Amino acid sequence: MGKERIDAAFAKVLEKGDKAFVPYIMAGDGGLENLREQVQFLEDSGATVVELGIPFSDPVADGPVIQEAGLRALANGTTLDGVLQNLSEWKESRSIPIVLMTYFNLIFSYGIEHFAARCVEVGVDGLIIPDMPMEEEDMVTPTFSEHGLALIRLVSPTSPKSRIEKIAGSTEGFLYAVTVKGTTGARSKYEEGLSDYLQDLKQFSSAPVLAGFGVSSPEQVRELSSYCDGVIVGSKIVELLASGKRQEISEIIQAAKVSETII
């Protein structure tokens, strides 16, 4: 349950010599009634864990593509409670771990204890809270730990080394390595020194290190995952899912399957 399920999912992939792949989708984009099928498609395509975004009116970490997906989901009437209820309805048939990406305001409004307990009830395994700094984590960590929920931390290339070491050392499930200076969204190139940054993180973190923000092609998946344990792809997955280009999604996910690459 929770953190243990995430750990097991990563171990299974990495022990094979493959890299982990975490796709991000926005809950309710396209209608909550389609969420189960969307997650099943991602699992069938080879995803390790699914990161599920909760739509929010002020998403400070999100670029235009994910912001628009959030607005579509909100227009569909998607709420945090609605997402959790939907997840509960097919909990027993779901085997892939689910990580919620949400902003702290929603958790606080829901009630931290109530939220954590409900996450366990519906089969959520971990949380990513991009607007919660390390200094404020104590508001949630005791409750999350009590319920076995992983708190996945984010690190940025702009953070001082001492701060990066602390965050990397305390993360659970995996370490979310932000690769760019800015919000989410596809990038055509990365800044110099990225490989050193990712390899340094592997020294600091006992959990798998995954690179996210700006990953949008099979080539980028292969390049970035060669420096760490895998990748997180959000904006490109959201864009392709909304336009029905599922074969392209499968190709991006399959790029993480190193053991199946023909040389």
Q: Show which residues are catalytic.
A: 51, 62
Centroid of chain to Cα 197: 20
Structural tokens at position 80: 């945090």
